Structure 1
């Protein structure tokens, strides 16, 4: 059938042109991403309880919300962080593939049910519920020239009012976090001494502001219905909400009998200040407003950052003079660079494959034909990729790189067979017809085998399925298109381009032919050696089987001993360096330490600039004055010789014994959307629900044991227990005796020290909040607090010092929970050369000795790795099973599939052995490579077995057929295998952005296919002979479909 295209080359060309054009059009629409959509959907809920401690916020906000949200459909885990500033953040993480909108609606509904249980101050400010992602795409910073006088408060609010609003409209934009959180607020700073002198209570101040700063509706004069007609209808307007500090200062607190009044300005001062204080940011040491850019879970990161850049460029044209901005961090630069590296590897692979093809075919015309087939097959793959919703990402492009060696195979086989027939004296066109008729069946068989191997992967759910999916289906599609091109265009080109072989050509006398002739002689002698060895091994089947069993046993042993991992860490061009000061340190001390750290970083040649934030923890994502962090952004990969790992080691050594504080450094997560940092995330839970100091002590002991484990570089709790606190014990009986209502006492204490939210005001087109708090004189030291007064029922001042007793205690920097249980989160860093899988197993073994009420769970990448570890054997087994079933149907035999699949252990042995030699773990990319090796090893074995079967049908005995088939197919097998192997070398020696994935994949496929190719030439023919002898030496092979039953009938008839 396929020989038709030899006589109809235009039809063959049209088919390839249509495939190419569709591919080009589709390729222009494919988005670019680092990975497919692998991040689990996250819905974030945020609330704030002004003045509350972390424990109070947890008990008042987190617990009611978690109880309602827990149990939502497809929820895999829920975690909350309650900070010392009274803020609560809850992340509800859903299974990969869950509908994001449905998840958001479910969380919204459940949160609404919990609102009635929340404090009034929390309900007044409302809940913020949004789709979220753990992946920070980048940072936008605003900074100003010193001459402008723009301070951080102005910068933060300019960003809030003029920058964040348009950025939110960027397609795919998720959260935008203003790290300073210095949103404008009307701050009323009370003077406790004046309040006492004028016998005023905080209660009076709050009630007066509420009454006199209210939105008032006054109606209209002359509005219907009226008893008689009126000439006009006039709307009444009066001053409602106040807008300026002086207006709040004029609020009347009390009218005295003498006609005088006491105003807010008489007992304090009013200013347009900030909602929150204590978090500052800088860009290269200059004060700045720093915005964290997050994407929606289902958005494309590159498109979001491109939109961010375009929006900022447009906004900058309207900035005030002296105001500047910078895209200080763009994590998608790594994505673009990694994609560029893969694309470059793709072209290198094509070039190498072309050279290898010429080496074996030794004819530029014959080399040109498969070279033409490669781009057609690769470009043609883009069409189905677009239909399936794929993108150009690390996995799909790696699939295309490896597909180069596969798509050239089919064309090489057709060309090589044509060349062989022409060497026997046939003309090009007849040779092309005969070649495609001979080779068409094996080409279709090997193509369908690879499709059978990869297509079932598409139905595997979850994150692992997403990782395998695009890689596997990209290869399957390219191989299918390659088969079409090889059976249509390739024979047509053979008939058109190839020239008849001359018996004596002058080309053999040319100097460059001598090494090629030497190569041919070596190849022929090697084929003879292999054939003789097959004969010897066939006479010593037991010995051959014993050696094979040893290889299989060694393969199992290597697999058991090889450490496992999920995905390799990558040099993404930046990292997070957290500064941890002594617990209880002020934010001023943290700023000084963070500034010194930033100067050290900027002094390095490989660091481009730094983003500094003081008063906030990156690891715990919580606000605390004794935490800060720097984000050093390194120079582009081609402008430096160092890596992120080098920077980490240098900084850890530099600040290891720093007297001011500790430095904790973490790389970003290698998988976007799965956590904000690399390494493993462990949750130590208190199942009794008590939490507190008991959980902290258990966690501390357990963390010390983790640090002592081999393969663990460090284990750091993201929260600390031991923050100095003052516990106030209120003498309630004495308060009653002195006539002080407890509600008034609590309100005075909360207002003076913690601040009280009153109501709202309008300014600059926004709605802001009004807060009342003591000025610094009333809350600097404990003695200041003791001097505060509260009015009793008779209006007499009572010192707080007479009603409270202080005890020094300790507490947490933040209160965390995981799956509704109090928890302490631990960031575990895996040591270089060790594997995450081994560390996970070791920690789980340690956890068996935890107290009965304590347990551990994994989150983020570690959680997904645990799931993936259970799925990988299923994927591999399913692939082998599908190949077996297909081959059994193809040959109508159970013996032939076994003979072919016996090459699989050899490929795995080579792959795992090469990983061991390079000290690399078997991660997800290596597992994908193993799956590919099953198909590649089977493909070579199919070529040998198919030709041996043809020779058996011609009457040759099993050994003769096996030897002759090996001689005939050894050149194309070596040619296609070494084209694939050498084409994968750029992967195995990769460096730069995204090198980790390429190294893992390249090492596995090169090692596996190299060993499998060499040993398959011996093992497969020998086992074929053994299988034929078991079936009966006198029987001849049947055509596919006749089956073993038909063969037995032939023997009986004979």
Structure 2
């Protein structure tokens, strides 16, 4: 019955990789339609900045805004704001946390029509991506083409916006944009005596610029770039201003050998696992675990046309891998403890009496996680293994003394009852000491509180259940196991001495 309760509790426990952490900072991504001017981007960035300065003034300690860049790439239609909050001691209310702040901000920014704006918290562990939440790639595994892949991406984003458990679902990349193509007529260039390398080098310097040298300015080294002046590279027809020298030393306008045309394409070439792909990021809504959000995204991807597959990346891939390895980790841990106890008691059945107490600790840990609204993450799993060890420790104390009293010649039940009586107070003292030791973790707040609460709550709930149920069932299990082995009295220990 206990195992059934544990199985039900585990199945209903939301999954995640790491608990969300309030790191005292967050950032806001701003992306306008492709082709927007830098002046228009500045206006939107200032509107977002003003919102934080007026609505979240009591929480923020400062902010830094940029236009022309964000994590999706460089472009005059992109912007980003880095913001830091006040110290955790100055914002004890849960509504002043980074998670609550970003949720309010996203609700406000959803009303913007001139840009897409997302307030995002950083991931719990740096270097595992630029943001928390989930990170996936839509892969063109069926060779459907770029346009069909973008249609699938837009369809997925539309379905994700209808789900209440998902938020800030967005493409992490630059959208397709108009492109100006310059085509050179090789045969005409050869007839005019113009080297193609000279022509392409001229166009590269004029339109893209080139680094040529360094110079020292006020004790600082600065770079020198050569590029065409802005008025002479603003329009496609401005190519006529530029001239290349041919083999005879004459200056020939570039438009004699070059033509221009407009096309529409992606400014980025995204691939994942060697296949064309698009990156999509998002986050679970407040109170929803990342595991539930990832399950929902997998369900939505299954509705997409054939030829599109999903692949997790970054912290999401780590979460999926850790979840698949959890069962193996538990099995190896229990097997290791069982072998150690078998060597200690020189029996294959007596250790079973000790390990049968462990499910009570596990049940307590799962119940505590449900009570606090926690997820089945890495810290929960560490706390679970700790709970198994503590529960086994209490049972070992009773079994070890009961076995010793039996070896002194006492009857099985009498020896077990005496062992419980002898170890009752020490077990309570050590359990209470350990429980009060982890209590500050379970009720902690501030920086790193997510990890401390997760492991503290798990261990505290497990030790409470393991202590009170273990004192009742550990001796019962020992008696049952001993009777299953035949219940023969253990051979008394031989003692040396002179007969009276």
Q: TM-score band (shorter)?
A: 0.7 to 0.9
Offset at 1:635?
A: 1.0
Offset at 1:743?
A: 4.7
Offset at 1:623?
A: 1.6
Q: For residues 274-318 of structure 1, what are the alpha-carbon distances to aligned partners after superposition, in whole Å with 9 as ceiling and x for unaligned?
A: xxxxxxxxxxxxxxxxxxxxxxxxxxxxxxxxxxxxxxxxxxxxx
* Structure 2 counterpart of 1:760: 213
Q: Decide whether the 8 Å contact of 1:693 with 1:721 is kept in 2.
A: no
Q: Map 1:245-324 onto structure 2 (within 5 A).
A: none
Offset at 1:628?
A: 1.2
Q: Decide whether the 8 Å contact of 1:834 with 1:921 is kept in 2.
A: no
Looking at structure 2, the residues matched to 815 and 737 of structure 1 have their Cα atoms a distance apart, in angstroms, of 36
* Structure 2 counterpart of 1:590: 41
Question: What's the secondary structure of 2:23's corresponding residue?
Answer: coil
Offset at 1:674?
A: 2.1
Matched, 1:607 2:64: no
Matched, 1:825 2:279: yes
Flag the 1:754–1:966 CA change in 2: closer, same or farther, 3 A: same
Looking at structure 2, the residues matched to 881 and 918 of structure 1 have their Cα atoms a distance apart, in angstroms, of 30
Q: 2:180 aligns with which of 695, 715, 726?
A: 726
Matched, 1:974 2:425: no
Q: For residues 956-1007 of structure 1, what are the alpha-carbon distances to aligned partners after superposition, in whole Å with 9 as ceiling and x for unaligned?
A: 4333333333333222222222222233222222211111011111111121
Looking at structure 2, the residues matched to 592 and 963 of structure 1 have their Cα atoms a distance apart, in angstroms, of 79
Flag the 1:761–1:940 CA change in 2: closer, same or farther, 3 A: closer
* Structure 2 counterpart of 1:654: 108
TM-score, normalisation: structure 2: 0.87
Q: For residues 395-443 of structure 1, what are the alpha-carbon distances to aligned partners after superposition, in whole Å with 9 as ceiling and x for unaligned?
A: xxxxxxxxxxxxxxxxxxxxxxxxxxxxxxxxxxxxxxxxxxxxxxxxx
Flag the 1:584–1:796 CA change in 2: closer, same or farther, 3 A: same
* Structure 1 counterpart of 2:75: 624
Looking at structure 1, the residues matched to 440 and 356 of structure 2 have their Cα atoms a distance apart, in angstroms, of 29
Q: Decide whether the 8 Å contact of 2:244 with 2:251 is kept in 1.
A: yes
TM-score, normalisation: structure 1: 0.43
Offset at 1:935?
A: 0.8
Q: 1:834 aligns with which of 281, 288, 301?
A: 288
* Structure 1 counterpart of 2:393: 939
Question: What's the secondary structure of 2:270's corresponding residue?
Answer: strand
Q: For residues 714-750 of structure 1, what are the alpha-carbon distances to aligned partners after superposition, in whole Å with 9 as ceiling and x for unaligned?
A: 3211113232333445566676777766555444433
Q: 2:351 aligns with which of 887, 897, 915?
A: 897
Q: Please, which moves more after superposition, 985-994 or 593-602?
A: 593-602
Question: What's the secondary structure of 1:774's corresponding residue?
Answer: coil
Name the structure, 1 or 2, with higher relative contact order (CA <8 Å, separation 6+).
2
* Structure 1 counterpart of 2:437: 983
Q: Map 1:603-752 onto structure 2 (within 5 A).
A: 603=54, 604-618=57-71, 620=72, 622-641=73-92, 642-687=96-141, 692-708=146-162, 711-728=165-182, 742-752=196-206
Q: Decide whether the 8 Å contact of 1:930 with 1:1005 is kept in 2.
A: yes
Larger Rg: 1
* Structure 2 counterpart of 1:500: none
* Structure 2 counterpart of 1:800: 255
Question: What's the secondary structure of 1:571's corresponding residue?
Answer: coil
Offset at 1:572?
A: 0.5
Looking at structure 2, the residues matched to 661 and 843 of structure 1 have their Cα atoms a distance apart, in angstroms, of 24
Looking at structure 2, the residues matched to 770 and 632 of structure 1 have their Cα atoms a distance apart, in angstroms, of 33
Q: Decide whether the 8 Å contact of 2:352 with 2:481 is kept in 1.
A: no
Q: For residues 582-615 of structure 1, what are the alpha-carbon distances to aligned partners after superposition, in whole Å with 9 as ceiling and x for unaligned?
A: 2211223222322332233234121111122221
Q: Decide whether the 8 Å contact of 1:925 with 1:1000 is kept in 2.
A: yes
* Structure 1 counterpart of 2:479: 1025
Question: What's the secondary structure of 2:469's corresponding residue?
Answer: helix
Offset at 1:838?
A: 3.5
Offset at 1:841?
A: 4.1
Question: What's the secondary structure of 2:269's corresponding residue?
Answer: strand
* Structure 2 counterpart of 1:1036: 489
Flag the 1:729–1:852 CA change in 2: closer, same or farther, 3 A: farther
Question: What's the secondary structure of 1:579's corresponding residue?
Answer: strand
* Structure 1 counterpart of 2:498: none
Looking at structure 2, the residues matched to 667 and 570 of structure 1 have their Cα atoms a distance apart, in angstroms, of 9
Looking at structure 1, the residues matched to 493 and 466 of structure 2 have their Cα atoms a distance apart, in angstroms, of 26
Q: Decide whether the 8 Å contact of 1:738 with 1:792 is kept in 2.
A: no
* Structure 1 counterpart of 2:404: 950
Matched, 1:778 2:229: no
Q: For residues 557-576 of structure 1, what are the alpha-carbon distances to aligned partners after superposition, in whole Å with 9 as ceiling and x for unaligned?
A: 22223222111110000011
Question: What's the secondary structure of 2:480's corresponding residue?
Answer: helix
Q: Unaligned stretches of 5+ in structure 1?
A: 1-549, 1042-1054
Q: Decide whether the 8 Å contact of 2:407 with 2:493 is kept in 1.
A: no
Q: 1:573 aligns with which of 24, 37, 40?
A: 24
* Structure 2 counterpart of 1:557: 8
Q: Map 1:121-160 onto structure 2 (within 5 A).
A: none
* Structure 2 counterpart of 1:370: none
Q: Decide whether the 8 Å contact of 1:608 with 1:633 is kept in 2.
A: yes
Looking at structure 1, the residues matched to 385 and 14 of structure 2 have their Cα atoms a distance apart, in angstroms, of 18
Matched, 1:929 2:380: no
* Structure 2 counterpart of 1:179: none
Q: Decide whether the 8 Å contact of 1:892 with 1:1040 is kept in 2.
A: no
Matched, 1:962 2:416: yes
Q: For residues 195-236 of structure 1, what are the alpha-carbon distances to aligned partners after superposition, in whole Å with 9 as ceiling and x for unaligned?
A: xxxxxxxxxxxxxxxxxxxxxxxxxxxxxxxxxxxxxxxxxx
Question: What's the secondary structure of 1:993's corresponding residue?
Answer: coil
Give the RMSD, CA atoms, in angstroms. 3.1
* Structure 2 counterpart of 1:405: none
* Structure 2 counterpart of 1:212: none
Question: What's the secondary structure of 1:721's corresponding residue?
Answer: coil
Flag the 1:786–1:690 CA change in 2: closer, same or farther, 3 A: farther
Flag the 1:1037–1:847 CA change in 2: closer, same or farther, 3 A: farther
Q: Unaligned stretches of 5+ in structure 2?
A: 495-500
Looking at structure 2, the residues matched to 767 and 983 of structure 1 have their Cα atoms a distance apart, in angstroms, of 56
Q: For residues 886-929 of structure 1, what are the alpha-carbon distances to aligned partners after superposition, in whole Å with 9 as ceiling and x for unaligned?
A: 11111111221001100111111111122122221111111000
